[in-house]
Amino acid sequence: MKLKRYGIYANGIRQHVVEAGEGPPVVLLHGFPETNFAWRFQIPVLAERYRVIAPDLRGYGETEKPATGYDKRNMALDLRELMRELQIDKIALVGHDRGARVSTRFAKDYPDLVDRLVVMDNVPTRIVARDLDAKIAKAYWFFLFHLVPDLPEALIAGREHLWLRHFFSDWCYDPAAISGEAFDTYVRAFQAPGAVRGAMSDYRANALDIAEDLEDANVKIACPVMSLWGADFHTVGKLFDMPKIWAEMADNLETHAIPQCGHLPQEEQPEIVNGLLLKFLETWNG
């Protein structure tokens, strides 16, 4: 498999993209606390049939980390303009966590540009806000912590490994699932100048994200949707009724709880996830 890496200017920022394969385009959007490295188990498999495009989101990885523009409508525009630069008219879209929030907004804002949508281990932003109580607030403490101006950056600086180790250990079914070179890769990514602030800016767009989501809360996603989540993740699968939640978002829906899995299905259970992706994408012909 030939893997291409390149930077391309779209929507006013330089986006870093990993690409492989030929055929109908499939875009993969990573979540927090990750980069497009999160898709290392999916890209080789999908690239046998599809043109796979995996950008680093605004503020993450090797993509630029501007001071503004982190509301999900603008991050969806990042993807729209990337497609324009790559001369791609329509995609199948896969998003995990924060990338699923961008993907959901993209599917609502550009329904004619997405053929099908996969969302992984994600509760939509407005639903987290709507259902927030003491139990959910405890599980989503990091949502609130990351909203505090400047303090997270000050506390995390020089301790990126401790910050990330907490999330990867607490959020995975196997606490050692992200270890060794994989863990070191993420640590290096968040040690880069502006990287922690970029991730914090993503979270700090929360109020605007909710406002945008409320504007079209009654509009369901038009394309087929597959929702996957880790059956054992205390903050998503064990806390929310995921089939019910995603039935609020889409009518043409299938759902799957991934066993022995936490927040990172694509990394914790790649064979199961790859099988589900290939089946869901089977009739996508571009």
Q: Which residues participate in catalysis according to the annotation?
A: 97, 203, 263
β-sheet with 225-230: strand ranges across? 3-10, 13-20, 51-55, 25-29, 91-96, 114-120, 225-230, 253-258
∠ Cα 229 168 258 (to 5°):
20
Which residues, 6 or more positions from 106, have their beta carbon under 8 angstroms from its beta carbon? Answer: 76, 79, 80, 93, 113, 114
As a whole number of angstroms, the distance between CA 165 and CA 161 comes to 6
**What distance lies between CA 183 and its chain's CA centroid?**
18
Measured between its terminal Cα atoms, the distance across the chain in Å is 21
As a whole number of angstroms, the distance between CA 215 and CA 72 comes to 13
The single-letter code of the amino acid at 132 is L
